[in-house]
């Protein structure tokens, strides 16, 4: 489909049900909404059918927008992205006050991008893995969380989106008072360092790097940093140790990391 062809962002469950012109409008109406359901279509008829089939209400604004069609749906807290089904106690604590890393919910995240950052046709996605058969497992195409007509998909953005997805879940759980505490694992030194190490200096320098240039992917880094700080403030208030973002070696036989990698590639395949 041509770059200027119309597309349709259908929001079936969100702040306002409707069909929107732009990804930004779609994101504004779905971001932070638990169980948000949305999808990008190439024609109005399919978008309307999606809302009829997935929405409990027919209300909401209706307008046209742009994009291609994909089936693995949305990212972050949405349930319309890939799910392996079922549930699992893998890495999940029992809600007790013991929040050592051995009893925390362990979440593995990964990103994938083919033709990384070179323009043209790039397939990219991210994966989030909780455990075998866990219904929270996700494989998400980057086209569902970025407007890929204006933002080039890259492996770094995929890694940061994966981290944001896990942090969203951890923050929602912390706010709910469920007692469930998280530990996040990534094979991306970049994603970990963005939040754990480099961000402090970037904040001091107003998000300009050492070369005097705007920090790449600052939108996603700021988002992750805000969630990370909010989570650990809540953990601290309840007497729990902080959520750690732990680096693991990629392709080194770590089952959680390998499964997150598999999901990331499935997400890329869905673009």
Answer for the pair 243, 232: CB distance below 8 angstroms, yes or no.
yes
- The more confident residue out of 71 and 164 is 164
Distance in angstroms (rounded) separating the CA atoms of residues 254 and 266: 19
Please tell me the predicted confidence (pLDDT) of residue 9: 80
**Lowest-pLDDT range, 30-34, 59-63, 117-121, 152-156?**
59-63
Q: How many helices (H) and strands (E) does the chain have?
A: 7, 8
Domains, the chain, ranges and CATH? 1-69 (3.40.970.10), 105-269 (3.30.420.10)
- Report helix, strand or coil for 233: helix
* Other Cβ atoms within 10 Å of 71 Cβ, number: 10
Per-residue pLDDT at 268 exceeds 50? yes
Q: Which tens digits make up the pLDDT trace of 157-169?
A: 999 999 999 999 9
> 130 burial class (0-12, 13-18, 19+ CB within 10 angstroms)?
buried
Would you state the structure tokens that stand for residue 233, as one six-digit string? 């403030």
Most confident of 53-62, 81-90, 93-102, 202-211: 202-211
Please tell me the predicted confidence (pLDDT) of residue 76: 54
Answer for the pair 142, 266: CB distance below 8 angstroms, yes or no.
no
Please tell me the predicted confidence (pLDDT) of residue 243: 97
Length of the chain, in residues: 271
- Report helix, strand or coil for 114: strand
Query: Please, which pLDDT band fits residue 117 given cuts at 50, 70 and 90?
Result: low
């Amino acid at each position: 489909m041509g770059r200027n062809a119309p597309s349709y962002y259908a929001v079936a469950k969100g702040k306002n049900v409707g069909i929107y012109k732009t990804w930004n409008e779609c994101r504004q109406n779905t971001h932070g909404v638990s169980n948000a359901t949305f999808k990008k279509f190439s024609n109005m008829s399919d978008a309307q059918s999606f809302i009829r089939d997935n929405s409990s209400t027919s209300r909401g604004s209706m307008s046209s927008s742009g994009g291609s069609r994909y089936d693995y749906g949305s990212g972050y807290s949405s349930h319309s992205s890939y799910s392996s089904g079922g549930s699992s106690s893998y890495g999940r604590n029992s809600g007790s006050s013991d929040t050592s890393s051995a009893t925390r919910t362990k979440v593995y995240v990964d990103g994938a991008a083919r033709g990384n950052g070179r323009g043209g046709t790039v397939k990219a996605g991210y994966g989030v893995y909780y455990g075998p058969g866990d219904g929270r497992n996700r494989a998400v195409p980057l086209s569902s969380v970025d407007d890929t007509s204006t933002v080039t998909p890259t492996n770094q953005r995929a890694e940061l989106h994966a981290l944001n997805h896990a942090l969203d879940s951890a923050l929602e759980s912390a706010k709910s008072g469920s007692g469930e505490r998280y530990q996040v694992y990534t094979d991306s030194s970049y994603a970990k360092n963005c939040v754990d190490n480099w961000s402090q200096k970037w904040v001091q320098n107003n998000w300009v790097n050492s070369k005097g240039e705007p920090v790449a992917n600052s939108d996603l880094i700021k988002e992750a940093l805000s969630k990370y700080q909010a989570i650990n403030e809540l953990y601290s208030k309840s007497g729990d140790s902080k959520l750690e973002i732990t680096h693991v070696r990629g392709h080194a036989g770590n089952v959680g990391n390998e499964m997150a990698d598999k999901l990331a590639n499935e997400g890329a395949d869905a673009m």
